[in-house]
Chains A and B, each alone.
Chain A
Amino acid sequence: MKTDDLFRLINFCKTIQEEGTDPFDLDVKKFLETLKHYLKKWKRIDDLLLDAEAMSELAKIIELQGKWIRDRSSSFYIDPVLMELKLKMLEPVQLADAFFKSWHPIISMDRITAKRLKEGLDYWNALLPFSERKEEFPLPSTSETFTFDIADLIDLNILSRAEFEDSIKAVLNDLEERGRIEYHDFIYDDEYENSVEKAYLTSYLVSEGKAEFDIDPLEEEVFISPCNAKANTGDVRSIAISLSYEDWLRWKRKQKRNQR
């Protein structure tokens, strides 16, 4: 027996559920007529299972149709395209203002009571020393991944030391010429690959004390400037600065706008 159209209908139901398309694209009446048409011909258990699966998928679509009607009749329904357009047109201040005007903050206070303090003290007294509870905090398993440092790249003949040092020098010269500058403005270049390479080389300049970061946590801006400190003096700190292709594209667009 040919059951292609049943499989097609089941797949169509699944597509509607997965992609969130309009559930009314499915003609329920026609679907049921198709099932009825096949009903008399079912002989094997597999046929009945297929019939059950089709019914189950149809039931899910009918449920979606119900939800679709409820959503659209609710007071929250607004055409998503219209909303997206409106949101893109609004200034951040207008958006924030709309939020504050519809915001009814929860009033809730955190206080430690004498009873709770006593419970904390009892907990402390009952707690075994950390050395006796080590099995509760097993050490993380050793990662199988490893990193390549510059020495590995030189060993593998991917890079020569002279070449690497020349590249670092070029970046340092560039930084000295430009002086204190926003980090992304410094490392981003016309090509994304070059920007990543420059960020990598710049990290060496900072580690060696030839450049320093100045981070403004409020504005979330990072500035870099040349300096003459010794490498790794005092406390050593790692700073993660994100770099992404999308961010680089935005930077490029901004540059173009500024040039006009």
Chain B
Amino acid sequence: MEEETEEESTLKTERKVKKAAQLLFFRRHRIPGVKGWELKKALGDDYMEVIGVLNSALDKLGMEVKRISEEGGIGEGGEEKTERDRFMIVLKNHLVEKASGERIDEVAMLSATLAYIISKQGKAPRKAIEEFLSDKFPKHRIFFALDRYIKQGYLGEDERVLYIGWRTRAEVDRKSLLDLILAS
């Protein structure tokens, strides 16, 4: 069998990196990003190396590939687990300019809800959160806002208990949020 030349190998890697970028930038499912097994299927067994090369290119643009485990937290671990994890591209540094159409009071509500839930070890009864928020916001707005955060993936709900959703795990640096709130 003929050995692959260096040039061929570089071209192959470039092709794979482009494919990985397309897979990660463009939405294929309801939730953005792709699972490890999808990347493996599209890019081959060395998909983690391809992601590494893509990450170096994204770094120059202030972006990075983030790996989120289904169980919560930042993904790491064995190959089987890697295939179950979700990969998505996020901004590496926080935004300087406005990048959301949400009203300031709605972002405040989300921020307070997340901090409240994180301080309660990741979950809290919906009623307790509604009571807590009603100190500053009218109840009818709280109901709509919480439902919207659930729909957007920032929160999850199971039998009237709210927990941190997949989107918060992907987008929010929870430690930094708590530190900033405590330091305010």
Contacts and interface: CB of A to CB of B under 8 A. Distances in A.
Interface of A: 71, 75-80, 82-84, 86-88, 90-111, 220, 242, 244, 246-247, 250
A80 B90 CA distance: 29
A99 B107 contact: yes
Given A83-B115, A95-B112, A108-B32, A102 B177 contact: yes
A87 B27 contact: no
A78 B182 contact: yes
B171 interface: yes
A99 B115 CA distance: 9
Contacts of A86: 181-182, 184
A75 B173 CA distance: 12
A93 B108 contact: yes
A168 to B, nearest CB: 26
B24 to A, nearest CB: 8
Nearest to A74: B121
Contacts of B136: 88, 92
A218 B91 CA distance: 30
Interface stretch (B4-12, B37-45, B76-84, B92-100): B92-100
Interface of B: 25-27, 32-33, 63, 66, 88-95, 99-100, 104-105, 107-112, 114-116, 118-121, 132, 134-136, 138-141, 167, 170-178, 180-182, 184
A98 B26 contact: no
**What are the nearest 8 A-B pairs in CB distance?**
A92-B108, A108-B32, A99-B111, A83-B119, A98-B180, A102-B176, A95-B108, A96-B107
Nearest to A113: B26
Given A78-B182, A250-B138, A108 B88 contact: yes
A90 B181 contact: yes
B178 to A, nearest CB: 6
A217 B174 CA distance: 32
Contacts of B108: 91-93, 95-96, 99
Contact of A104 (B91, B104, B178): B91
B119 A108 contact: no
